[in-house]
Amino acid sequence: MIINLIVIALILFLGFSFSRKKDRNSDSNRKKYIRIICFLLIIQSGLRNVAVGSDTYGYFLSFKDSVSRSWQEVYQGIVNYYSYGIGKDPGYAVFEKLVSSLSGEYQLLLMVIAILFFIALGNFIYQNTTRLTDAILAFVIYSVLFYSFFSITGHRQTIATAVALYGFELIKRRKLLPFLLLLLIASTIHKSVLLFIPFYFVAQISKPKLFFRVVLILFPVIMVFRNNLSTYLKILGGYEEYGINEAAGTSTFTTMFLLISIVALLRSKIILQNNIKAQQYYNAFAIALLFIPLTWVNPSAMRVVQYFSVFMLLFVPEILYSFQSVSPRIKRDLTVFTIIVLIVLFLKSNWSSTNSYGFFWQDMALPSNY
């Protein structure tokens, strides 16, 4: 928790320093800030201990196996998957073998994944923000709400999400074939990325407010029939092993998401006037709302939601900026209030957490699931 708090403090401190420059809202100033923060996040993720993150040690064991696995065995695994349905995600085995061929050090794999993801995330933030304050807030949101998965847990889906973030740029340019090819390749690493394909078409919906209202109205219905819906979508998303968890429930995230959605709907006229691209954020949030009830069946479904909830990094700053037309001071105060709430949420969720951070050279106990 301490390391992540230091990173959040650096995000804010460096953001404050960059915001004092005369060219604070220039592309070059914002790009430089984003690059520095992404570098810090790469170091944080890439240098972590194998005991940090619930899945990291399992991936460590898999990587050690790949060191001794021959390319012939990797090829046979691909054949078995596509011919007999044996195994899963053969593209990750290829990626893993490529890295282990360069070095048998697992730390290199963590660093490569971190570089791939944060370059994609940095580009996602840079291409879709125009103001430095938006980039600052985006990184704070990431560190509070997405750090625990993308920075310290996921491997396969982290790579797939990086591809999806690049795919969003192809959606904006309406490059369907390159988009499909990119996601089909990524699906060999994690099948769930196929759920991002419909967003190519949903993102083009020209009446996002209507679509958003319909989804909000349908949300209670979807909650009622969430078990039935999960049966179909978990197969497509590659989560067949995740059954119904009676103790499942993401009350804090769901409440927060619904509050953001309601405020976004109330401020939609101003938001869309300020930034026409925000219609794609509304459409992404609408899809996330469709999937959120699945997290009440099994929290692991949050991994599906994250392909769309990551647009929160862009959407929340746009919502806050819409209050600039009311009063710059109100906008500033709301931004400060939002950052305080995010930090409080981070402290609340991590205060008693046993999943502490440590660097690879430190001695740490493995998570209890091992």
Contact 176, 183 (CB under 8 A): no
Structure tokens at 173: 């340019």
**What's the confidence (pLDDT) of residue 235?**
58
Q: Which of 16-30, 108-122, 130-144, 240-254 has the lowest mean pLDDT?
A: 240-254
| Rounded Cα gap, residues 370 and 357, in angstroms | 17
> Cβ neighbours of residue 76 under 8 Å, at least 6 residues apart?
none
Helix (H, G, I), strand (E, B) or coil at 190: coil
Mean pLDDT, the chain, integer:
89
Average pLDDT for residues 293-308, to the nearest whole number?
A: 83
Structure tokens at 223: 């909650």
The rounded percent of the chain whose pLDDT value lies above 70 is 93
Position 239 pLDDT exceeds 70: no
Position 238 pLDDT exceeds 60: no
In this prediction, residue 353 has a pLDDT band, given cuts at 50, 70 and 90, of: low
Helix (H, G, I), strand (E, B) or coil at 48: strand
**What's the confidence (pLDDT) of residue 301?**
76
**What's the confidence (pLDDT) of residue 258?**
92
List C-alpha distances in Å: 168 to 114, 202, 299, 357. 19, 12, 25, 31
| Rounded Cα gap, residues 174 and 170, in angstroms | 6
In this prediction, residue 315 has a pLDDT band, given cuts at 50, 70 and 90, of: very high
In this prediction, residue 364 has a pLDDT band, given cuts at 50, 70 and 90, of: confident
Average pLDDT for residues 313-321, to the nearest whole number?
A: 96
**What's the confidence (pLDDT) of residue 113?**
97
**What's the confidence (pLDDT) of residue 251?**
81
Kindly report the number of other CB atoms within 10 A of residue 347's CB atom: 12
List C-alpha distances in Å: 317 to 79, 183, 269, 275, 278. 46, 28, 15, 11, 11
**What's the confidence (pLDDT) of residue 247?**
42
In this prediction, residue 299 has a pLDDT band, given cuts at 50, 70 and 90, of: confident
| Rounded Cα gap, residues 7 and 342, in angstroms | 14
CA end-to-end span of the chain: 21
Helix (H, G, I), strand (E, B) or coil at 359: strand
Position 146 pLDDT exceeds 70: yes
List C-alpha distances in Å: 75 to 69, 81, 152, 182, 259. 11, 10, 29, 21, 48
| Rounded Cα gap, residues 207 and 116, in angstroms | 34
In this prediction, residue 349 has a pLDDT band, given cuts at 50, 70 and 90, of: confident
What are the tens digits of pLDDT across the range 36-48?
999 999 999 999 9
Average pLDDT for residues 307-336, to the nearest whole number?
A: 94
What are the tens digits of pLDDT across the range 162-212?
999 999 999 999 999 999 999 999 999 999 899 999 999 999 998 888 999
Instruction: Give the DSSP letter string of 26-45.
Output: SHHHHHHHHHHHHHHHHHHH
**What's the confidence (pLDDT) of residue 302?**
82
